[in-house]
Structure 1
Amino acid sequence: MKKILLIGLLLIGQVCFGQTKDLIKVPGTKCSLIPPDGFVIASNFSGFQNNETGTSIMITEIPAPYQSIIDGFTADALKMKGMTLIKKQTIDFKNSKATFFNVTQSANETNYFKQILVFGDAQQTILVSGIYPEVSKSIEPIIKEALLSTVYDQSQNESPLDAAIFTVDTSNTDFKLIKYMSGSLLYSTDGKIPTEKPILIVGNSIGKVPTQNRKKYAEERLKKLPNGNQSIIKQINEITIDNLNGYEIIANGKTKNNIPELIYQAMLFNDKGDYYMIVGQTKENFEKYLETFKKITKTFKRK
C-alpha cells in the first residue's frame, strides 16, 4: 500500500524452504525462525519478545519489491525516522542474497540497537528486525543467529485473524481483508495492496504511550500518517467502544499527488499505556465511506 510505512528470497526459482523441528511459526506471517532462549511469541506484533530484557524480534512482510525497499534504506532516510545507520552489508542467505543493517535509535530516553535482515523478490519483501536496549548489547550475536534462521514458506497459513488481538466486523461493507502486518489488519475495497481504492487499517500499539493528554496524542498521531502534515481536522469527538475511551477524528487530507481525500481516525486507550487505532482513507464517495468507517469502528472488540 502506498500509504503503508514502513515497512524473499521468497520463492527464488520456485524453491520453498521447509521447516525443521526447531523452527517456530510466527503468527500472521509465512515465516518461521528459531528464537533465542527466554523469548516467547509476542502478543501485539508478529514476532517474539523477552519482557525481562526488553528485547524483541519482529517480522514485517511488505508487498513491495525487495530492491525498492533496499534503495529506500539510505542513511538520510533512516535519519528522518530517528535511526542512525551503523553498517549495511550484502550477505549470502538461503542460496541467494540479502541485506543486513545495523542501526541505532533512541526512544523514551533509552538507546536501542537494531539488526535488520531484509530479503525478498520482485513482489514482496521480508524485514526481520532484532531490537534490544544498549544495556543488553551482549545479546547481539544471539539475535543475529536468530534472524539468520528465518525461513519463508509460501504454503504456510498466515491466519491473520488469529494473529490479531482484536476483531472488527466488515461484513456487509466493501472492505476485504488483505493481510496482518506489524500488529495491524489491512483492508481495501478491491482486495489489493497497494491500491488507489479506499483502505482501512486496524491495529494496536507496540510500545507504551503517554496517557496524560490523549486528545493531543491522537491529533499528533494523525499528523504522522503519510502526508498527515497537510491534514485539516474537521471534527474531534469523544468515543467509548468496548469499554475503552478515546477520540474519533475526521479530517480532510491530500495524497502525495495532491488529490483530496477523507481521513478517519479513531484511537482507543486502555489504562496500561496501550492504544488501538482504526484509520480509514478514501479519495472517493466521502459520505458513504465515512459512514462505513464509523460503522466498522463501532464493532471493535478486544479478544
Structure 2
Amino acid sequence: MRLRTMCCVLLLAGFAVLAQEPVKPAEPPKPVQVPGTFVEMNQPAGFEKATSFTGFMNRALNASIMVTVLPEPYSKTIANYTKEKLEARNETLFNAGPATFGAAPGQLLVATMKANNASYAKIYGIFGENGQSVVVTVTVAEASAKEPGVWDTLIGTVRSARISPDVFLGKPYAVKFAAPIAFPRRLDDGVMATNVEKPIDLTKLLYFFIAKRVNPVKVEDPEAFGRELLEKMPQVKGVQVTGVKKVQLNGLPGCELTGVASYSTTGKPCLVYLTILPAELTRYFILQGIAPVEREPGSGIEGDDAAIFKTFSTLAGTFRRKSS
C-alpha cells in the first residue's frame, strides 16, 4: 500500500512537472549606444552613464568603461598598445590575442596597473573600420575584479562592443539611401555613399556626401555660400553653375545648386550637385553629389545628366534632422 501511494505521488509530481511551462532562457542584454559615438555595447547592471568621459561607470566596484573613437586607422592605434608602450604608461601586459567586435577584427588585451597605492586590472578592446579606430578601456579595482562574476561580465561587455550598422548613429541628421546610391559608409566628418559596395575610383562612380559643419559666421545667403563652397571643393575644378533652386527640407530653407566641372585628379568632366541648409547659429548642413559625365559600360550609372541630378535631388529630399 505504501509503495502504491509513493508511486502515485511520484507520478503526480511528474505530471505536475510536465504541466509546468518550460522555463524561458534569459534574453541576452541589448546593446545600447555609447553616448556621442557610433559604438554600441552592453551596459552591465550597476553601471551608469559617465558624466566626465564617454562610457559607463560603477562607483561601488570602482570601475569604469571608457570608449574612445580616434580618426586614424586601426593599424596606427594598435601600435600604441604593445608591451613596451604599455610599460611606458606604467602598465603590465598580461595577455593579448585576436578578437572580433561585431564584424570588425581587432585585439583583446588584459593588463594590470598600479596608481595612487592601489592595484587595478585593465581590459582593452581595440578595433576599427574605414580609417577610424575604437578603443574600449575597462579599468577596475583589483579587489572588485576578484568578486564572483565581475571579471566575466566585464570581459563580455568589452567583447559586445561593435560599430553600429546604422551609419547615422551619433549624427544629428540622416537620409534614406536607396538604389542606385545604396552603399553608405561612415566618415570622421560625415557620411558618404556610392553606387558600389567597395568603391575604388570615385571618379567613375555616383558619389554622395552629407555632413553638418560650422562656418565662422552665420550663413545668410545659401546660394552665394554654396557657390563659394563649389569653388573650393577639392574633388573638382572649374565649376560652372547651371541651375539654382530654392528648397526647404525638413523645415530648413536652403538652396540647391547643380552644374558641371572637371575632376581635379583626371581632368575629366563631371556633374556637381550641392544643397546648403543653414541651421542654428553658424552651423549648416551640406549635401553634395558628384558623377562622371562619361559613364563607362557596366558602371551601374543609368540615365542622362538630368536623371543623375534627379537622383541626387531625390536623395537629398529624404533629409531629416534628429537629436543624436
Matched, 1:187 2:176: no
Which of the residues 276, 283, 286 maps onto 2:305?
286
Which of the residues 172, 180, 184 maps onto 1:174?
180
Deviation at 1:211, TM superposition (A): 2.3
Which of the residues 73, 81, 84 maps onto 1:94?
81
Q: 1:268 to 1:153 in 2, by over 3 A?
A: farther
Q: Percent identity?
A: 14
Q: 1:287 to 1:125 in 2, by over 3 A?
A: same
Matched, 1:252 2:260: yes
Partners of 1:176 and 1:97 in 2: CA distance: 44
Deviation at 1:191, TM superposition (A): 1.8
Which residue number corresponds to residue 226 of structure 2? 218
Choose between structure 1 and 2 for higher RCO, CA contacts under 8 A separated by at least 6 residues.
1
Which residue number corresponds to residue 172 of structure 2? 165
TM-score, structure 1 as length reference: 0.52
Q: 1:210 to 1:228 in 2, by over 3 A?
A: farther
Contact 2:214 2:282 in 1 (8 A): no
Which residue number corresponds to residue 37 of structure 2? 27
Q: In the alignment, residue 270 of structure 2 is paired with which amino acid? A: E
Deviates more, 1:226-235 or 1:260-269: 226-235
Which of the residues 264, 284, 297 maps onto 2:273?
264
Q: 1:120 to 1:208 in 2, by over 3 A?
A: farther
Contact 2:246 2:256 in 1 (8 A): yes
1:226-262 Cα deviation digits (max 9, x unpaired): 2444211112222111111111111211111111110
Partner of 1:290: helix, strand, or coil? Answer: helix
Q: Segments of 4+ in structure 1 off by > 6 A?
A: 152-155
Which residue number corresponds to residue 201 of structure 1? 209
Contact 1:91 1:97 in 2 (8 A): no
Which protein has the larger Cα radius of gyration, Structure 1 or Structure 2?
A: 2
1:1-303 superposed matches below 5 A: 27-28=37-38, 38=52, 59-60=70-71, 93-95=80-82, 125-126=131-132, 156-158=162-164, 159-171=166-178, 173-196=179-202, 197-206=205-214, 209-255=217-263, 256-283=265-292, 284=295, 285-303=304-322
Q: In the alignment, residue 160 of structure 1 is paired with which amino acid? A: V
Mark the runs of 5 or more structure 2 residues left unpaired by the alignment.
1-33, 42-49, 56-67, 86-125, 135-157, 296-303
C-alpha root-mean-square deviation of aligned residues, in Å? 3.9
Q: 1:125 to 1:97 in 2, by over 3 A?
A: farther
1:7-63 Cα deviation digits (max 9, x unpaired): xxxxxxxxxxxxxxxxx68623699xxxx974569xxxxxxxxxxxxxxx974366x
Partner of 2:275: helix, strand, or coil? Answer: strand
Partners of 1:194 and 1:120 in 2: CA distance: 23
Partner of 1:294: helix, strand, or coil? Answer: helix
Contact 2:211 2:286 in 1 (8 A): yes
Contact 2:256 2:274 in 1 (8 A): yes
Which residue number corresponds to residue 133 of structure 1? none
Which residue number corresponds to residue 136 of structure 1? none
Contact 1:169 1:300 in 2 (8 A): yes
Partners of 1:299 and 1:264 in 2: CA distance: 15
Partner of 1:162: helix, strand, or coil? Answer: coil
Partners of 2:192 and 2:313 in 1: CA distance: 16
Deviation at 1:184, TM superposition (A): 1.7
Deviation at 1:169, TM superposition (A): 2.0
1:96-127 Cα deviation digits (max 9, x unpaired): 999xxxxxxxxxxxxxxxxxxxx999x95447
Partner of 1:217: helix, strand, or coil? Answer: helix
Q: In the alignment, residue 188 of structure 2 is paired with which amino acid? A: S
1:42-94 Cα deviation digits (max 9, x unpaired): xxxxxxxxxxxxxxx974366xx979xxxxxxxxxxxxxxxxxxxxxx99611
Contact 2:39 2:161 in 1 (8 A): no
Partners of 2:84 and 2:227 in 1: CA distance: 42
Q: In the alignment, residue 184 of structure 1 is paired with which amino acid? A: G
Partners of 1:224 and 1:30 in 2: CA distance: 36
